[in-house]
Amino acid sequence: MLVCVTATVVLAFGTTMFLMAAEDASLESRLSGAGRAARADVETGRIPGDIAGFDELLLAERQVYGERGALDRPLLGAVALAAIVFGGMIAIFLAARLGRQLEAISIAADRVASGDLTARAALVGGAAGETLILAENFNRMAAALASYQVQTIEAAAAIAHELRTPLAILLGRLQGMREGIFPKDRDDIGALIRQVEALGKIVDDLAFVSLASAGRLAIATEAIDLAAVVATLLDDLGPKLAQAGLAIERELPSAMASADPLRIRQATLALIDNVVGHAGGGGVIRLETASTDGWALLRVLDRGPGIAVSEGAILFEPFYRHDTSRSRAHGGTGLGLSVVAAIAAAHGGSVVAAPRLGGGAAFTLTVPSSRGGQ
């Protein structure tokens, strides 16, 4: 459209300048020296000194404008018609380019609306730049929808997998008790309670991650010291970690944060449980706190099998398992690290995972400091 308007303006301007130049040349050829002098005086804003020359100038102008007017009107009409035709041709050409790409997008959109998320808009050669950008954005949207559909299906399958085992154990044990195969003693009932607790943990973690994804995860921030929260948790978990064969190293200088202490404790516990599932049995878990540039940091480090750099982001996706060691036998639900990521995001912070120098993994949870802004 810009080309069309520019071409029309250039054509009209060029014609006008040509006509003005022709009129000026015709007027100049009709004037004597006195007339040219009078014209020069008028153009410079002076009163002509020679009245005869001024009369000659006026007469010549009337003659030229009368003669040229009879010729200029048809010429200008022809130029206007040419501009309209030329502009129309360009508009039709541009509309055709625009229409072909929009038609391709429309066809793809109809297929997507019908449930075919593999549909993509064909990129039409020679199409206008804006419509090509629209088609590319549509294709990215369709790809994102397809990816989301796959993730939804995989999440449903993962949830079913996580629930299947404890439900099967519950059903089998209860049926055995009903038939008298298993005794109804304290130990058997305790085992059933543990399976119910495992189911409850999965449901709780699912609800937590779902609320976080919907932006409805409530936190109550206050000024806390990460070091104090972590130290208290380690004191509580000491016997459990020792039973899992984990030695504890700690370096906990004061790190003031604006955070929800219960959520920070929950995230720290999830990170420690992750280490228990990976590096239990003769391993070492190290916890560190620090403050830097408006942020408070908590690091959890282990000497387990480690992680690849490429796994840094996907580790926090629901039900992702680094290896078979992250199994239900170690108390894992496949949602622990997702819960940590949700807590970090709710605080406006982040959590990252990276290989640890010398082997193992390092997880760093970052939340806003209570000492100054971000």
pLDDT value of position 324: 45
pLDDT digit string, tens, across residues 343-371: 998 899 999 998 888 888 899 999 999 86
Would residue 200 be called left, alpha or beta, if left means φ above 0 and alpha means ψ between -120 and 50 degrees? alpha
pLDDT digit string, tens, across residues 206-234: 777 777 777 777 788 899 999 999 999 99
**Has residue 178 got a pLDDT over 70?**
yes
Mean pLDDT (whole number) for 246-265: 92
Least confident of 31-35, 77-81, 252-256: 77-81
pLDDT value of position 334: 67
Q: CA angle 41-47-49, nearest 5°?
A: 80
**Cα–Cα distance for residue pair 65/40, rounded to 1 Å:** 19
Mean pLDDT (whole number) for 294-315: 83
pLDDT value of position 165: 73
Q: How far apart are the first and last CA of the chain?
A: 47
Burial per residue of 56-89, b for 16 or more beta-carbon CB atoms within 10 angstroms, e otherwise: bbeebbeebeeebeeebeeeeeebeeebeeebee
- What is the DSSP code string of 243-301? HTTEEEEEE----EEEE-HHHHHHHHHHHHHHHHHHH-SSEEEEEEEEEETTEEEEEEE
Tokens 């006509």 appear where? 19
Higher pLDDT, 23 or 248: 248
Mean pLDDT (whole number) for 81-94: 70
Retrieve residue 227's tokens: 């070091």
Length of the chain: 374
pLDDT value of position 326: 42
pLDDT value of position 46: 76
Tokens 């020792």 appear where? 242
Confidence grade of residue 240 (pLDDT, cut at 50, 70, 90)? confident
pLDDT digit string, tens, across residues 268-279: 998 998 888 776
**Has residue 71 got a pLDDT over 70?**
no
DSSP state for residue 47 in the 8-state scheme:
-
**Has residue 19 got a pLDDT over 70?**
no
According to DSSP, the β-strands at 246-251 and 283-292 are parallel
Q: How many helices (H) and strands (E) does the chain have?
A: 8, 7
pLDDT value of position 331: 47
**Has residue 330 got a pLDDT over 60?**
no
**Has residue 282 got a pLDDT over 70?**
no
pLDDT value of position 57: 62
pLDDT digit string, tens, across residues 122-163: 887 766 677 888 888 989 998 888 887 777 776 677 677 667
Mean pLDDT (whole number) for 233-261: 89
**Has residue 185 got a pLDDT over 90?**
no
pLDDT value of position 80: 67
Query: Is the pTM of the predicted complex or chain greater than 0.85?
Result: no
According to DSSP, the β-strands at 295-302 and 283-292 are antiparallel
pLDDT value of position 327: 45
Give 3-state DSSP helix, strand, coil % of the chain, rounded to 5.
65, 15, 25
Mean pLDDT (whole number) for 32-57: 70
